[in-house]
Each structure stands twice: as C-alpha cells, then as structure tokens.
Structure 1
Amino acid sequence: IGMVYDKMGEYSKALSSFERSFEIRKIALPPNHPDLAGSYSNIGMVYDKMGEYSKALSSFERSFEIRKIALPPNHPDLATSYNNIGLVYYNMGEYSKALSSYERSLEIQKIVLPPNHPDLASSCHNIGTLYNKMGEYSKALSSYERSLEIQKIALSPNHPDLASSYTGIGLVYDNMGEYSKALSSYERSLEIRKIALPPNHPDLAGSYNNIGLVYDKMGEYSKALSSYERSLEIRKIALPPNDPGLAGPYIRIGLVYYKMGEYLKTLQYYEKVQEILEKSLPPTHPHIAILMLKVLLNEAQRNEYSLCPVVAEAIRTILGVHHTNTLIVYNRGKATISNDDATSNL
C-alpha cells in the first residue's frame, strides 16, 4: 500500500503505511533482520521526496547499520544503502559526502555485478551528475560516457536511460562552452525520447528546452525560440493551466524576444508569467516581486537610466526588505537591486 501511495505522490499516506509496516516488523522480527532495513529504507525514500533530508538521512543510515550486521560485506543491498545516503547528501548540497557514498556504492557493485550491469551505469551517471554540479567537468564527462558505454551494451538502442546519459553529456559540454557538442548530444537524446516516450511526455519538453538554451547561448534566436515554444506546447498539455512549471518557458521565450528587440512580445510573455505565478503562488512569494520588476523594466526599456522608487517599495514590502535606501536601477537592459548589505543583479 505504501508503494502505491508513493507512486501516486501521496507521501504522507505512504509514510503512514510504511511506518505501520515497520511497527509490525519490529514486534515480529529480530532487531537486525534485513526486512527492518527495508522498512527504514522505504521511510527514508519518502522523507527524501518530501524534502525532509535530515529524517531521510537518519532512516537510510539506520537501514545501513542493520545491513552491515545482517549481510555479507559486499552484498548489493549495501551498495543500495550507500547510494541512498549519497542521494540525500546530494540533495542537501554536501557534495563531498555524496561523492564518497556514491563511490563506495560503485566499488561494491563492481565486485558483485557483471561488468555491464545497468546498475553500474546508474552509479556512473550519479557520479557524473555530482561532478558536474561541483564544476569538475572532465570527470563528469568521463563518468557520463562510461555510463553510456555500459547502457549501449546492456539496454536496447532507444532505451530512455540512454537519452538521460546523452542529456548529461550535453549538459557538461554546455557548461564547458562547447555548444556544438552540447547540441549534438541534446539532439541525440531527443531522437531517442521521441521513439521511446509518448508524444507529450515531460522529458521531451526538457529536451526541447535544453536545445533552446544552447541555441540561445549561440545567438541563434529564431532556432532557440522554436525549441522553447515546442517545450512550452508540451508542458501546456502535460501540466495544469496555471502550474508554476509553465513560468520558466514563458520567461525564456520572453527573454529571446527581448534579445531580438521585440519588446512588446517580451512584455506580453512576462505578463503571462506574472498571471501564472499570481494564481499559483502566495502573494508574498519572491517570484511575484521579481516578475513585477521585470515587466516594468521592459516597459521602460527605451530609457537609458531610470530609478523606480515605487517598484523598490513594492520589492521591499514583498521581500521583507526594510532598507529605505534600497534602489532598483535600470541600465541598458540590466537591473540592479542594491542597499547597504548587498547588490543583486536581475
């Protein structure tokens, strides 16, 4: 029951079911029985999805402690525990600890699994994602490419996991500024996803968005616009009408129009974003303030310099910034919010 609720995204109900199962097992089983480790792992999984990382970490570590006692030293379930702990550390931004856990998981898998087992590819992919996040792009690329090599042997040629590896490789090249290579990887990922997934799957929207981002950075704005618009079309089908996830595509399309000098269209897209966020977020959410500012800035785009004290007061109120000297300065298409403590660019 807990697994079903988990797949449905009803995490509080899933947690309740997993905890009830755990209570029964604690009574019926010895204190270090592997099934208790399984219960702790399930509970940790739900806490991780709920964003309660300290509770997730505690549950995963308790599961690991039991498995270390109950299982042989290189049992695959120990690799799973290391991976779960690494995932939580990753989500918490503690990348060195995450890397240590991921690498320990991979070490065990190399001992107990065949050399081209898909789980090895998953571990290499996780390590690649972590290195990319840490800015160690050559190591990230090596890990992603190793993952892809294994997947090409172990999986069908159009398996979605291959698309994920191509996306990871594209992301690294993108971060390295090698846009033609990034584009090639993103397009290969899209080709696979178009074969493997339903026509309006969210991952297709992600692929079109990635391609748009690269074209945007390359200054090929019409191609960027085409990709962004395709991403938006899919998201509009896959998501509710005012889902906050629609805001990102509208923002990116608006920015492309801004770079193309089509300021009226920019304003129209930002107003659409503001409408979405006002309906989907609390009125004091910071996104509302930032979008208010961006809309007004684009209305004032013909002014080389302009101070916006009225907007500054709105920003102060919404963000809880009470410095009377907060200024919002518009200068040649860029904005700066500044006060005695900090300066932020928009």
Structure 2
Amino acid sequence: MGDYAHGERYCRLLLDELPVGHRDRLVALTILGHIAQDTDRQEEAYAHYEQALNECEPNNINQKILVSMPLNNVATMHFEAGHYDVATSEFLQLLKLRETYLSTDDSRLICTYNNLAICLLMKGDMKGAVDKAEKALTLCKKHLPENDPTRASVEGNLGDVYYQLGRQKEAIFHCENALAIQKRCMPSGHRFLITAHRNLGNKYTDIGNYAQALAHLESALTIEQHQDNVDPLSLAATFNGIGCVLSGQGRKDEALSYFQRVLQLIPENHPQRISALQRLGSILGQMGEIAAAYDTLCQAITLHEQQKDNSNELELADIYHSIGTIQCQSGELDNAVGNYNKALAIRQRLLPPAHSDIARLYNELGAIHLDRRDYVHALNYFQRARAIELETLPEGHLESARTQHKIGYTLFEMGRVSEAQIEEEKALAILLEKKQLYANHPLLNSIRRTLSVIHITIAAAHQAPAITQQDQNEQQQNR
C-alpha cells in the first residue's frame, strides 16, 4: 500500500508540472488509473483513463499507441462490470488502433483479438467470437513461444467458444492445452490456474465425465480460497461449475446449495445473474418446488429485459427451456410446447444445426408427443436428437443411451417390435460399457424392463401361429 501511495504522489506531481499533451502526462494518468483500479476505486480509475483518452492529440501517432493502454483498461473494466455492449465497442476501437500501428507479432494485438472474442461470446455473437479467437491463436502459433501465458489465455478462450458451439472435443483439447501451458509458466497457486482448471472442469461436465470435472473444479476452488483477494465473480463461476456437476450426479440438494451461493456472490444488476437465476430455477423445478422455480425464472426474464444491451439471447433460450420443463411437470403441455419452440427458434438462429442444446429440445418435444401418443412426431424428434448426439457426444454418454431408449420405446408403442428391440439393446450396451458409472442408474432398470416386455411380446407372437395350427388340426379330426 505504501508503494501505491508513493507512486500516486509522484504521478500527481508530474500532472501539476507537465502541460496538457505531453506524452508523460498520459503515462501518469494511466498509472493513476491502475493504482485506483488495484485499490478498488473504480470510479476514480475510470476518470483517470477517460482523462488520458481526452488529452490524446488525434494526429499524434506516438500518443495513439500510448493511449491504447487506458482504452484497453476502460474496456476491461466495462467487461468485468458486465457492460458487454460498451466493452465490445471499446475493444473494436482498440483493435482498429492496434491493427494500424502495431505489427502482427505484438502480444498486445493478440490480446485484443482474444478479449474481443470473449466479449462477443458473452453477447451471443458466435460467428464473431470464433473468428476473433481463431485469429488470436493463429498469431500466437506464428509469433509467440509455445509456453507464453498469452497463448494459454487464447487456448482457454477458444475452448470456451468451441464449447458454446457444441464442439466438445475441440473445446476439451484447447482447454487441456491452456492448463498445461499455465502449469509450466506459473507457480502452483497462481490465479490464472483457477480459470484453466475451471474451464476444463466445465467441459468434462458437459460430456458426463463428472469425476474429472469435479477434480478440476475442486483444484480451482482450492487455489481460489488461498488468494489474498478473492474475486467474487470468479468464485461464483467455480461454485456454479461444482453445482452443475452435483446436479448431473443427481445430488440435487447439494447442487441447490451451490447455486444459491452463486446468486449471493453476483451483484444485483450484473448480467451474469440471469444465468444464475436460470440454473437456480431449473434445479428447484427438478426438486418439485414448482412455485419457487417459476418465480425464480420470471426474475431471470425480468432481468434479461432490463439488461438487453448486455445480455445474451441464448440465456433467454435457456430460461424458456427451463420454464417449458416446469410446465411439463405441471401437466401444462400446450404451454410447454410454446416455450420449447421459443427456445428452439433462438438456438436454431444462433447455434450450429448439430448443437447439443438443440438436441435437448428435440428430446423434450419428442417426450411431449410421446405422452400424447403421437408416436410419429415423437419418433421424428427423437431421431433428430440422436443424429446430433452422434456428432457431438463421446461414445458411452448417458444422454446417448437415454435417447436410444426413447426411440426403442416409441417404436414398441408403434408395434415395430423387432426395431424396438434393436434400439433398446443398443441403449443397454452403452450403459453396460460403463457399468461402474451406471450400475445403479434408473435408466438401466427402465431399459431392462422395456426389453423384458419386448421379449415377452416376441415370444407370444411366435407361439400364436402354433396354437392356431393346433386348433385347425383338432377341427379337421372332429370332422
């Protein structure tokens, strides 16, 4: 703190002595902004950075390069505050400036592409995000050493972008690269390792590898808890990741506790509260707390409306999806179909056609048609979901077995018993391959019960002609 005070006094003396337009004034203002930012005086930091930007002479090339520092800091502060629209605009200004005056091997240019990619991702602009993230990685490979920390950040962010695009294998590959680089570059307790472990853990959660996911997320949490200054948003992200693992494992009460802690850590009007409310509402619905779940999801929609400039439309799709699921539980099938279709329209517009989130909606819509005995439409939705899962999920994934089972059950209800048996046996094989994971899973029992009924039906069908023939012989003898 003494160093900060000394540096601040020195910079203020420079400002008193130097005329406006002097390059050292820009340096002093930028340093003052850094000091204010590091000592949690955000408004003061903004003021120093803005003053530096305003004092920059528009035609002075040297000052333009220098002023990119406060512009970068202002954009970063807006991003951290959840002002994604403003941050994106500022990073675009910064990119234009640095593309003009910096060479392509300058790490500052690479960082700008990287930061802009994450801003665009938070806004739901997948095409723009992947373009900027891939550009950043291309420049890293060309100009930076393999163990450069900047490359680790770029690899991790590209993994996040691929994850949102449903390209799980590529996402895991890049997140593993990011963690490996950070481990080589940084001491074991460095805060950069928090993000690297957490990102990789989240990717393992998505493919159902909960043991690996939890190991990485707990590593992130351990490092986080030993930091001198814990970042509430970072801690919230780690708690959220652990909550998702627990939810996937069926440990709903524990997951609820973590999701509630996430909400406590995020400021009231921050756009990240939208997804936190959605996940909390979803778990409440799964636990049968329908009224509380619906109220929480309505809060998420309200906040999304208030944060339209900074929120991600894909988060709105998640909310509609969760509301539809709760309405299904309540027997409001028509309303559920309406909300599922709203979610589907957004995801089909913003995501690649073969995305796992689209497959999930196909499964939901198929289940409603199955419940209504509309087997033709149910089968169509389940088969479309299965086609996506074959592209996006690893072999042996629980959701693959679940969809296969739904297809088999639907075919059985349609009287296509032999086809149903094939599908159910495929579903059973998926679970038996990972018996240690799924030995006590309810889906395994459901598949076995369906196969048992199928076997009885086939046996009865084979016996029916023999009985008929016997009856005919007896009739002939009686004549």
User: Shorter chain as normaliser: what TM range?
Assistant: 0.5 to 0.7
Q: In the aligned structure 2, how far is the partner of 1:124 from the partner of 1:83?
A: 11
Q: 1:197 to 1:41 in 2, by over 3 A?
A: closer
Distance, in Å, in 1 between the alignment partners of 2:281 and 2:182 is: 36
Equivalent position of 2:72 in the other structure? none
Unaligned runs of 5+ in 2: 1-151, 163-167, 464-479
Q: What's the counterpart of residue 303 of structure 2?
A: 150
Give the Å deviation of 1:167. Answer: 0.9
Per-residue deviation, residues 162-183 of structure 1 (Å, max 9, x unmatched): 2221111111111222222212
Q: Distance in 2 between matches of 1:145 and 1:212?
A: 25
Counterparts of 1:283 and 1:63, CA distance in 2: 32
Q: Which amino acid letter does the alignment assign opposite residue 343 of structure 2?
A: S
Instruction: Within 5 Å, give how 1:185-334 maps onto structure 2.
Output: 185-232=339-386, 234-235=388-389, 247-260=401-414, 262=415, 265-274=416-425, 282=433, 290=448, 293=452, 295-300=454-459
TM-score after normalising by structure 1:
0.65
1:129: Cα distance to partner? 2.1
Residues 24-43 of structure 1 mapped to structure 2, 5 A cutoff: 24-26=185-187, 36-43=190-197
For residues 428 and 220 of structure 2, the distance between their equivalents in structure 1, rounded to whole angstroms, comes to 36
Deviation at 1:109, TM superposition (A): 1.6
Size of the aligned set, in residue pairs, is 287
Aligned to 1:319: none
TM-score by length of 2: 0.49
Contact 1:194–1:204 (8 Å) recurs in 2: yes
Is the strand fraction higher in 1 or 2? 1
Q: Which amino acid aligns with 1:139?
A: A
> Per-residue CA shift, 1:138-182, capped at 9, x if unaligned?
212222222233334434899332222111111111122222221
Q: Higher helix proportion, which one?
A: 2
Give the conservation status (yes or no) of the 8 Å contact 1:147–1:165: yes
> 2: CA distance between counterparts of 1:97 and 1:239?
26
**Superposition RMSD in Å:** 4.1
Change (3 A) 1:195 1:13: closer
Larger radius of gyration: 2
Q: Say whether residues 1:123 and 2:123 are aligned partners.
A: no
Residues 253/15 of structure 1: CA separation in 2 closer, same or farther (3 Å cut) = closer
Q: In structure 1, what is the Cα distance between the partners aligned to 2:382 and 2:282? A: 24
Structure 1 unpaired stretches of 5+: 305-346
Q: Which has the higher contact order (CA 8 A, sep 6+)?
A: 2
In structure 2, the partner of 1:133 is 286
Identity of aligned residues (%): 21
From the superposition, tell whether residues 300 and 151 of structure 1 become closer, same or farther in structure 2 (CA, over 3 Å).
Answer: farther
Q: Using the alignment, how far apart are the partners of 1:259 and 1:210 within structure 2?
A: 18
Q: Residues of 2 paired with 1:256 and 1:139: CA distance?
A: 33
* CA deviation string 1:98-141 (max 9, x = no partner): 33332232223225xxx2x4311011011112212322122122
Cα deviation per residue 1:307-342 (whole Å; 9 max; x = unaligned)? xxxxxxxxxxxxxxxxxxxxxxxxxxxxxxxxxxxx
